[in-house]
């Protein structure tokens, strides 16, 4: 299904979207593409996303990922002294941002869709909305535990693992909806991406187990994998080799994030369960301020990107996290 969106003058020629992410890889014929991930802003301002992407569009990313954030619980103290549990969505708007990105820039958008907080019916409805909007790409994820919860819990009648979500999307691609009475429903054409972990997902007992379930996601219909960030390319190369040995043949896109602040030396491993190479750690420790850290982070990410590109990865996928100037310096040096 192809939709033509009007483009702002700035981008000149018209662009037909949507194309499947894997089609972009095929059309690139071995050339390494550049793509970006953005995070919905805290409620109120879409401008932050546009500022980030306006600065990065010169690199002609064929697609932009937009993350999804589950609701969180807050405990508010009432005048009586008791605490009230309130559920809030701090960063809503993933689908709206995807539509806005496609409309403004004429590039494909990849909404992240998570299991957490969704029943199967709600997932189906979200997918129907995406299909109606002409969004044919989705990154299917489980999501993490809510803040203050020690493990992930699925919604009642929701999915426990990304694998089940992939199966639901693949079913819709085959015209199968939850209500078995619906026959002849629209067949969707979602290109399905899933997450992969070069340093293993933190809950997996070992890499082999994690790879087993990643392979199940691919068997169920996942078309490509995007990795968790890593700072040691060797981990990525070994992961790709392990995937291939396990029979996982789909494209594996490396996810990259530059270090920009000293505190990330501890916060990133704590949050993403990854290791940092000793050379990088000692350079950051010696850096006199965050400006120096930023420079080291840029140089490290450039070196990583150049090596990955030289090894022919399908795409370099940057987690922008509002750091558009930093990302711009990196990509400029890599292209
Ligand atoms: P799964 O594939 O379901 O795996 C979770 C764990 O369960 C793994 O240890 C796996 O080995 C194991 N497992 C899988 N299937 C089974 C099974 N059938 N039986 C037993 N064990 C199983 N989170 C968000 O909330 N929003 C986002 O936008 C977001 N974007 C991300 C983008 C990328 C590229 C990556 C790498 C992660 C992203 N995350 C996001 C984080 C992700 O939701 C977490 O890492 C989460 O803990 C796992 O998600 P998953 O899809 O890999 O889960």
Per-residue model confidence as pLDDT tens digits over 279-327: 999 999 999 999 999 999 999 999 999 999 999 999 999 999 989 999 9
CATH topology of domain 32-334: TIM Barrel (3.20.20)
pLDDT at residue 185 above 80?
no
Q: Active site residue: 9, 23, 29, 37, which one? A: 37
This prediction's pTM: 0.94
Residue 158, pLDDT > 80, answer yes
Looking at residue 8, what is its pLDDT?
45
The position carrying tokens 């050379």 is: 279
Domain ranges of the chain: 32-334
Using pLDDT thresholds of 50, 70 and 90, give the confidence band for residue 9: very low
- Locate the ligand 1 atom nearest the alpha carbon of residue 68 and give its number: 28
Contact assessment for residue 223 and residue 197, using Cβ atoms and an 8 Å cutoff:
no
Res 12: pLDDT: 42
Q: Ligand 1, atom 42: nearest CA belongs to which residue? A: 143
The alpha carbon of 144 and the centre of ligand 1 are apart by a number of angstroms equal to 7
- The residue contributing the CA closest to ligand 1 atom 22 is 213
Determine whether 199 is an active site residue: no
Distance CA 22, CA 43 (A): 32
- Helix ranges restricted to H, 73-138: 94-105, 120-132
Task: Please tell me the distance between residue 178's alpha carbon and the centre of ligand 1 in angstroms.
Answer: 23
Q: Which atom of ligand 1 is nearest to the CA of 202?
A: 9
Tell me the CA distances in angstroms from 168 to 123, 173, 178, 265, one per residue in order. Answer: 9, 9, 9, 38
| pLDDT band with cut points at 50, 70 and 90 for residue 10 | very low
**144 CB near ligand 1 (under 6 Å):** yes
> What local confidence, expressed as pLDDT, does residue 17 receive?
60
Which pLDDT tens digit goes with each residue over 113-147? Answer: 999 999 999 999 999 999 999 999 999 999 999 88
68 lines ligand 1 (CB under 6 A): yes
Q: Closest Cα partner for 88 from 140, 42, 46?
A: 42
């Amino acid at each position: 299904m192809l939709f033509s969106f009007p483009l702002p003058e700035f981008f000149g020629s018209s662009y037909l979207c949507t194309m499947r992410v894997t089609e972009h890889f095929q059309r690139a014929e071995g050339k390494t593409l550049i793509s970006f991930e953005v995070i919905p802003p805290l409620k109120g301002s879409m401008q932050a996303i546009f500022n980030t992407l306006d600065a990065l569009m010169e690199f002609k990313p064929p697609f932009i990922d937009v993350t999804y954030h589950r609701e969180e619980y807050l405990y508010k103290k009432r005048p009586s002294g008791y605490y009230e549990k309130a559920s809030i969505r701090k960063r809503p708007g993933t689908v709206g941002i995807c539509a806005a990105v496609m409309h403004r820039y004429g590039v494909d958008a990849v909404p992240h869709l998570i299991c957490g907080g969704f029943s199967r019916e709600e997932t189906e409805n979200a997918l129907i909305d995406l299909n109606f909007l002409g969004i044919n790409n989705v990154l299917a994820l489980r999501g993490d535990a809510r803040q203050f919860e020690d493990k992930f819990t699925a919604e009642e009648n929701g999915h426990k693992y990304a694998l089940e979500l992939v199966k639901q999307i693949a079913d819709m691609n085959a015209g199968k909806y939850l209500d078995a009475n619906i026959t002849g429903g629209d067949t969707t054409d979602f290109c399905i991406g899933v997450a992969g972990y070069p340093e293993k997902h933190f809950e997996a007992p070992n890499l082999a187990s994690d790879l087993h379930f990643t392979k199940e996601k691919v068997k169920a219909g996942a078309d490509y994998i995007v990795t968790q960030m890593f700072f040691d390319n060797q981990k990525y190369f070994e992961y790709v080799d392990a995937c291939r040995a396990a029979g996982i043949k789909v494209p594996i896109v490396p996810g990259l994030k530059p270090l920009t602040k000293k505190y990330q030396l501890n916060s990133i491993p704590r949050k993403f369960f990854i290791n940092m190479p000793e050379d990088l750690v000692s350079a950051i420790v010696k850096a006199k301020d965050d400006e120096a850290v930023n420079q080291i982070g840029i140089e490290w990410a450039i070196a990583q990107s150049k090596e990955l590109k030289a090894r022919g990865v399908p795409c370099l996928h940057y987690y922008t996290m509002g750091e558009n100037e930093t990302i711009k310096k990196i990509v400029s040096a890599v292209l």
